[in-house]
Structure 1
Amino acid sequence: MTEAVRAIAAIVHQPMGPFELQEILVEAPKAGELRVAVKAVGICHTDLVFASGQTEMTLPAVFGHEGAGIVEAVGPGVTGFAVGDKVLLTFDSCGHCRRCTEGHPAYCQDFTTRNYSPVRPDGTTALSLDGTPLTGQFFGQSSFASHAISRVGNTVKLAPDADLALFAPLGCGVQTGAGAVLRSLGAGPQDVLVVIGGGAVGLSAVMGGKIAGCKTIILIEPRADRRALGLSMGAHHAIDPAAGETSEAVRAISPLGADHVLDTSGHVGALQSALQMLAPMGTLGLIGVPPAMDATLSVVIAQAITFGHKVMGIIEGDSVPKDFLPQLVSWTQSGELPVGKMVTTYPFAQINKALHEAHEGSTVKPVLVFD
């Protein structure tokens, strides 16, 4: 019988507090679950939103939702996975509601409880600290730890030679940005795409636009180094928002406007300008989480009606992970999705350093690795 194991986890004890490395206990996997020895995990903005106390997530907690590792144990009834398999972890979904069965698991009716809840669907937690149950199961994994419990539905098998540190960000950030362009917006060769924000999600969107063959890809980003990186990853133009009104700069490049504008910044001012960039029947896609959870966007109704504009919320790039993540892996290996250009690795023990450098902007996509 599989026993519980001791693990090292980065725990947040108070809102805005540091991540503290402590020893925890991780239970054996239950039916439909796997226990994964995490070898790499990306840091995503969503981890920081929840760790900051902006939500009702109970602290102390273990976050992390871009895990990649090796299957250490499988629970009863698990098929398709074996001990020793390399795997990629992603968001969780129920698999049987209307949206899941229609091929939209990112919009699962139970998405919130399965990804933001501190416990398993049965109300238990797999993690404990000094004998006290610990909030875990973040995005069905809580992979800021040397071991994580995942479910069959949010685990994707990789090849034995898979580069886990390179592929870890595919599970959320890359999937979200590239998927937003390729799946949610359905961008194509005739389209003008504008991406607001040159972080990991925004740059993934730029790469997605290049794969889609968009005729014009425009990145709006305040940092010169990020603009240069975006140009090297597929953007045709890069605009500094400090140089003037961005909608005018976009229309100087594409007088009819943009078919798709994808915001990854969450900046309300940038979003208001984005509405003025849209071409007839253009779509504004919302990915970036604003600083205030009750932030609002003002839409001129007559303008939206006249030009057929659409505003679309997007989560996880409307991905079907079992299908889309292998495709992202293939594009990464072929060089079509040069994820490595934005990844910086850190030892897991340096999680707070990685967070600091990501916050100040010197790192685009930090990935924590275990020995």
Structure 2
Amino acid sequence: MKIKTATVTHAGDPLKIVAAQLDDPKVNEVLVKISAAGVCHTDAVGRDGGTTPFPVALGHEGAGIVEKVGSGVQTVKPGDHVVLSFSYCGHCANCLAGHPGMCTHFNELNFEGANHDGSHRLHTNDGEDISVFFGQSSFSDYVVADQNNVVKVDADVDLRLLGPLGCGIQTGAGTVLNYIQPKFGESIAVFGTGAVGLSAIMAAKITGMAHIIAIDIFDNRLALAKELGATETINSKNENAEEKIREILSDGVDYAIDTTGVSPVIKTAIHGLKPAGECVLAGVGGDLTLNVMGDLLSESKKLSGVVEGDSVPQLFIPRLVEYYKRGQFPFDKLIKFYEFDQINEAFAASKNGSVLKPVVTL
């Protein structure tokens, strides 16, 4: 079928909306008419190269309505409202243990550009294969995705809001609720108050943590963090974050989450932990140099990396929707909508931080 999709042909190019051809879904796949899709930093990484072969159709926080399902699909049916999340195999040891974000084939299925069977469903009008992103490429008016990507959601909630639950918001909230699973009264420092960090803060509030410390360099973001559940805020542009944390809690915090991927920030997060505390990395970053004895081992501290909030999307995303309906998870305060032809403006707003979670509507 003929569709429109936002593609990149060379690293760093702006996205271009083009006509393309989309094959029918196979036995394990679902055809979805996209209503909206969130813009995530990982889309910018895909645009700028190094993850997925070009040409690539981007987008991995899609939400839409099922139009057609393959004969082997039993989880959704035509007419269902769905969110599209990350791709996973469903049969490796980690998937079977309930950790699909740790899927043995995660990088292959989400970044190598092909479908589960190694073939392609998306093509240029000249017949050239177009790589898919996260098994969905949801900056498109229609997508074909494996049933493992597809999550049925409550049809009573505005579908345009829900796409970001598929990655960024799931990552922040899931890191707290699924991976850390804090006890009532424990403490956490969240470094970076973009969409991922603010989602972690909202989740921490749900659990009843006693101290939820937000750290950023922008006062407007810190003000929103306070509104959404932070008990204390630190502007690390003006104050020493480690010293301020220890003014609040002399022993340090039980947990820290870094959403920035910035090496000096990560080291500060580690230094702000109490003995036996854990720092969880949830942001795309680069090289990090640590003194193993001084930074970690001498105080039994832990450093972990967590992908997609250690979530089972089909279980966790409906749970987040329910929290939203109860008024406990107001992630809609992060969102600003853009038309499809404004997609590069949405990317620019995400990069400069003027919008926490741009969502492109189709």
TM-score, reference length from structure 1: 0.95
- Aligned 1:1-371 pairs, distance under 5 A: 5-53=1-49, 55-290=50-285, 292=286, 295-370=287-362
Aligned residue pair count = 362
User: Percent same amino acid at aligned positions?
Assistant: 38
After superposition, the C-alpha distances for 1:247-288 in whole angstroms (9 at most, x for unaligned) are: 111111111101000000011111111121010110000011
SS of 2:134's equivalent in the other structure is helix
- CA RMSD in angstroms, aligned pairs only: 1.2
* Superposed displacement of residue 320, structure 1: 0.9
Q: 1:125 touches 1:133 (CA, 8 Å); kept in 2?
A: no
SS of 2:52's equivalent in the other structure is coil
* Superposed displacement of residue 57, structure 1: 1.6
Distance 1:242 1:134, change over 3 A: same
SS of 2:245's equivalent in the other structure is helix
SS of 1:134's equivalent in the other structure is coil
After superposition, the C-alpha distances for 1:156-215 in whole angstroms (9 at most, x for unaligned) are: 112332311111111111110000011111222221100000100010011111011110
- Between 1:151-160 and 1:189-198, the stretch displaced more is 151-160
For structure 1, the residue ranges without an aligned partner over 5 or more in a row are: none
After superposition, the C-alpha distances for 1:101-136 in whole angstroms (9 at most, x for unaligned) are: 111111011111111121112221110112333333
Structure 2 Cα separation of the partners of residues 56 and 160 of structure 1: 34
Q: Which runs of 4+ in 1 moved over 4 A?
A: none
Q: 1:216 touches 1:236 (CA, 8 Å); kept in 2?
A: yes
After superposition, the C-alpha distances for 1:279-334 in whole angstroms (9 at most, x for unaligned) are: 011000001112x4xx1231341552232100000100000111111100101111
Distance 1:234 1:122, change over 3 A: same
After superposition, the C-alpha distances for 1:70-102 in whole angstroms (9 at most, x for unaligned) are: 111111221132211111110111111111111
Structure 2 Cα separation of the partners of residues 23 and 268 of structure 1: 41
TM-score, reference length from structure 2: 0.97
